[in-house]
Amino acid sequence: MDYKEKYESWCQNPVFDEETKKELESIKEKEEEIKDRFYQDLEFGTGGLRGIIGNGTNRMNQYTVTKATQGLANYIIQKGVKEKGVAISYDSRNMSKEFSQKTALCLNANGIKTYIFESLRPVPELSFAVRKLGCTAGIMITASHNPPKYNGYKVYWEDGAQIVAPVDKQIIEKVNEITDFSMIKTMEKEEAIQKGLYKEIGSQIDDAYMQELKKQSIHPEVIKQVQKDLKIVYTPLHGTGNVPVTRILKELGFTNVYVVPEQEKPDGNFPTVDYPNPEDEKAFQLALELAKKVDADIVLATDPDADRLGVYAKDSNTKQYMPFTGNMTGMLIAEYILSQRKEKGILPKNGAFIKTIVSTNMADAISKEYNMKLMEVLTGFKYIGEKIREFEQTKEYEYQFGFEESYGCLVGTHARDKDAIIAVMILCEATAFYKKQGLTLWDQMIKLYEKYGYYKEGISTITMEGQSGAEKIKEIMEKLRKNPPKTFGNYQIIEIRDYQQKEIKNLQTNQTAKTTLPTSNVLYYELKDNSWCCVRPSGTEPKIKFYMGIRANSIEEANEKLSQLKQAVLQIVQA
């Protein structure tokens, strides 16, 4: 069926409600818009769904959401685990609550019990709830940090981590078997409640989650010593973070916490920001204004589903608030928890430190310093969650810390996804710890550079929307594979790792080997002088991403080397 036939079907099929048909009728003269909405089915990928909210097969709506849910339900039933139930949460995005309701009632109609949060909750708490309640799966309705027009649907498995192989592919097969929207089951909420299939959850899970976070505190006594002098500015960026963040900070004893009032309330339109992403410096404008007003020690922002954290802290020399990348924040947390656990004699000899392949090589240096086993995984925190599960089963290693460059990390194993709530807690404790020594968080970052080297990383992205954009991204990846570069500017390429072809080629010796990580459309280039570059299409956005990193002897040299590498990479790609 071509896109026009799909459009006509949606306009006429009795499965679709009158409101949907009326809206689609209003675009009947807009050929390009019809094509974009119907040229493909919104793909249920290894992470679930993500797309623009609207009617059509290529949009996030009640029909595409419940199609995915029906496929998941069929898989759960096939596996014989429907009695364990499914936990469901949602963030502040437009339609998140509605999609969560439709999801629950579809599962209920299939005889699967659901535990749905009474109001919005962050990703890490959903991950925690799956294991706490002994569920077979979890679903989070969120598009993370995407612009307001997006929403998404993330699936978690019984270990609290996002689905990985082989479960992901098996669920995808079941979703793809739903070829007609009439195959989707649903029921009335009142009936689901009466049958004991629909259960609301809330405060009990909140309380248990908070208790787990507090277990990760290393120096609670330091907080009490500096609590009157330490000032924290925080913004949830209209998302889910405000309640859990302010609660954990209050319960730990932080007394001067200032929440940005304009961004405190949940709002799916994100009226004060163009892009609710703590990686974007524009998202910090109001927080920094408040920070200067109250003379804050640390400025924090979480994204709408509170799995990512952005940070600013003051430079003692210039008195300016300085931004931290996700890599920098990860390294600050890693150094703090590893050094202080070692100091207290609670750092295990078989500790493991996990990073993704596009994250900073400073992690390698810190791991070596504290005799941790460093492990690399593909991009995506689900692979870190997978390692935690593996450690629990084999007992070979004890998880200490995991992070990825995209502003996400996890301290502890209470959750199996990025947790910005615990990251806020640990960073505020670290701020108190270093403040007692007369250091700001930025001062401590400089000390890390002086200790391990001036590592600096960057990312360049090219957005290519629609069908033509997807084809162009494919062309770029094919070109790099067919005509592999030997240099990026002045940087000689030592080794190329093609994770799709599962091949590692050393360009100096011409020897090849097999990769050990799962198959993925990723190209990684190891360069001379501890530098690197990695290219991959985004799994959640219409973008191709170019990651890179260098090591230098000063901040100035690091900035210059990274700038040169970025230019060289983009020149080859765009040639």
398: CB partners within 8 A, 6+ apart: 348, 350, 351, 352, 391
What single-letter DSSP state applies at residue 182?
G
267: CB partners within 8 A, 6+ apart: 92, 238
Q: Confirm if 414 and 126 have CB atoms less than 8 A apart.
A: no
Burial class for 315, CB neighbours closer than 10 Å (0-12, 13-18, 19+) = middle
Q: Confirm if 334 and 447 have CB atoms less than 8 A apart.
A: no
Strand partners, 551: 455
Q: Confirm if 51 and 146 have CB atoms less than 8 A apart.
A: no
86-90: strand order across its sheet: 48-52, 150-157, 137-141, 86-90, 114-117, 198-201
Catalytic residue ranges = 144
Handedness of CA 162, 168, 170, 172 (dihedral sign): positive
Region of 111 (left: φ > 0; alpha: ψ -120 to 50; beta: rest) is: left
Placement of tokens 């008195």 in the chain: 319
What counts of helices (H) and strands (E) characterise the chain? 19, 23
DSSP labels, 77-137: HHHT-GGG-EEEEE-SSTTHHHHHHHHHHHHHHTT--EEEESS---HHHHHHHHHHTT-SE
User: How far from 519 is each of 485, 516, 523, CA to CA, in Å?
Assistant: 22, 9, 11
Alpha-carbon span 543 to 546, nearest angstrom = 10
Strand, helix or coil for residue 200: strand
Alpha-carbon span 261 to 240, nearest angstrom = 15
Closest to 374 in 3D by CA, of 397, 358, 392: 397
Alpha-carbon span 442 to 445, nearest angstrom = 5
Closest to 48 in 3D by CA, of 131, 138, 181: 138
Element housing 210 (H / E): helix 203-214
Q: How many other CB atoms are found less than 10 A from the CB of residue 556? A: 10
Q: Confirm if 135 and 129 have CB atoms less than 8 A apart.
A: yes
Alpha-carbon span 377 to 366, nearest angstrom = 17
Alpha-carbon span 189 to 192, nearest angstrom = 5
